């Protein structure tokens, strides 16, 4: 039984006894606050879960945009031609330090899976200088398609991309599987590609 010390006299009384001496006439009992907060909390939690599930589903099922252009070799490039195999679209710039740093990893990923059908499109931002871009591609011997987005069509099609690097991973059904802002998680990306080409 819990007890409390009242006043300075040192007398100890039972808590239940103290409570029994409090007049209750005229007091109305309302709904228990614990139950009220609990019900409201469950409602908020359920709403958050529904919104999160809807956002997850929309992201998972978002189709890759249909966009086309010309690569640095003058060849036509279109995302619609890539449906049926996974591919990667990387928005970058020669002036972007992280872009330059991650490029060897993108090259390695492309070389590992390109023989199985994986494709890579490196989209240089419209503000990139053509001479810098061409020199970079030649010096690094980039083995994949490079597009200079001089009109900004590619960036707009993929949601007005303005931050580099931004990378989109598209699955064989033409759905956006992942969007990375900043350097991608290459080990996770490699594991995902392995599952795409397994068997």
For strands 87-92 and 3-6, give the pairing: unpaired
The 10s digit of each residue's pLDDT in 72-82 is 999 999 999 99
Instruction: Report the pLDDT value the prediction gives residue 32, as an integer from 0 to 100.
Output: 58
Quick one: 42 and 75 in the same domain?
A: no
Share of the chain above pLDDT 90, in %: 68
Whether residue 74 sits in one domain with residue 47: no
Co-location of 56 and 148 in the same domain: no
Interval 151-171: pLDDT, tens: 999 999 999 999 999 999 999
Residues 54 and 91 in one domain: no
> CB 177: neighbour CB atoms within 10 A?
19
pLDDT tens-digit series, residues 14-63: 444 344 444 555 555 655 555 555 667 777 776 777 666 555 555 555 99
For residue 40, being part of any structural domain is answered with yes
Residue-number span of the structural domain to which 139 is assigned:
68-196
Asked if residue 147 and residue 53 are part of one domain, the reply reads no
* Residue 9, in any domain of the structure: no
Cα-flanking dihedrals φ and ψ of residue 73, to 5°? Answer: -95, 5
Tell me the mean pLDDT in the region 119-123.
98
119-124 and 87-92 beta bridge pairing:
parallel
Say whether both 56 and 125 belong to one domain: no
Q: Which residue has the tokens 């929309």?
A: 58
3-state secondary structure of 151: coil
pTM of the prediction? 0.71
Domains in the chain: how many in total?
A: 2
CATH number at residue 182: 3.40.30.10
Asked if residue 15 belongs to a domain, the reply is: no
């Amino acid at each position: 039984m819990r007890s409390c010390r009242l006043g300075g006299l040192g007398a100890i009384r039972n808590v239940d006894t103290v409570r029994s001496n409090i007049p209750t006439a005229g007091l109305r009992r309302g709904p228990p606050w614990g139950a009220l907060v609990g019900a409201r909390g469950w409602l908020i939690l359920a709403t958050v879960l529904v919104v999160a599930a809807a956002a997850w589903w929309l992201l998972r099922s978002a189709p890759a945009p249909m966009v086309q252009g010309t690569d640095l070799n003058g060849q036509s490039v279109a995302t619609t031609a890539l449906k049926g195999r996974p591919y990667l679209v990387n928005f970058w710039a020669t002036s972007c330090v992280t872009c330059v740093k991650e490029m060897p990893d993108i090259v390695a990923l492309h070389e590992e899976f390109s023989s199985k059908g994986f494709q890579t499109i490196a989209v240089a931002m419209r503000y990139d200088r053509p001479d810098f871009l061409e020199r970079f591609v030649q010096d690094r011997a980039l083995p994949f398609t490079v597009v200079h987005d001089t009109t900004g069509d590619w960036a707009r099609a993929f949601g007005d991309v303005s931050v580099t690097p931004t990378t989109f991973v598209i699955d064989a059904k033409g759905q956006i599987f992942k969007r990375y802002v900043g350097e991608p998680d290459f080990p996770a990306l490699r594991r995902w590609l392995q599952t795409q080409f397994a068997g």
